[in-house]
Each structure stands twice: as structure tokens, then as C-alpha cells.
Amino acid sequence: MRLRVECYAGYKGSERPVRFGAGERWYQVEEILDQWYSPGETYFKVRADDGNYYILRASAGDEGEEWTLESYSARGRL
């Protein structure tokens, strides 16, 4: 699922997600639990303001950075 993502922009550009939107709903990132890399992609495991856990993937595309939702886990099922 493609996402709209707002990122914290530090000295390296977009460094980490702070808010993401799916459909008409926006989720605030409360905590980044983990971050890892693969060629051309960065993954973030986050806890959102709804208490649920999400894995977000940022990949470099032809039109800039593209974000997708890779995984979801309801609170208490981490």
C-alpha cells in the first residue's frame, strides 16, 4: 500500500518519518523501534499514535522517494 509520509529533514535530507497517511487518516509516529537498510531501500519499524506497529519502506524511485506499508501489527501483538 502506498503512503503519504512527512519526514524529519536533517542535514542528510529526509532522515525519518514523523507522520504518515493511509487513505484519509494520518498517523503520528510516536516511536521508531528499529531501522534497517537493503540496497536502495530503508525500512522503519514504528509505533504510531493509535498504539499499533507498522513497518514502512522508503525506496528510491524515478520520481523521488516512494513509501509503502510493508507490515502492520495490532497493539499487544508485537
pLDDT band, very low/low/confident/very high, at 12 (cuts 50, 70, 90): low
Cell of 35: 531501522
Of 29, 20, 14, give the one whose Cα is nearest residue 1.
20
Is residue 77 over pLDDT 70? no
pLDDT per position as a tens digit, 17-53? 999 998 899 999 999 999 999 998 999 999 999 999 9
% residues pLDDT > 70 (the chain): 91
CA 3 to chain centre: 8
pLDDT value of position 78: 52
Of 55, 42, 38, 52, give the one whose Cα is nearest residue 14.
42
Question: What is the value of pTM for the model shown?
Answer: 0.85
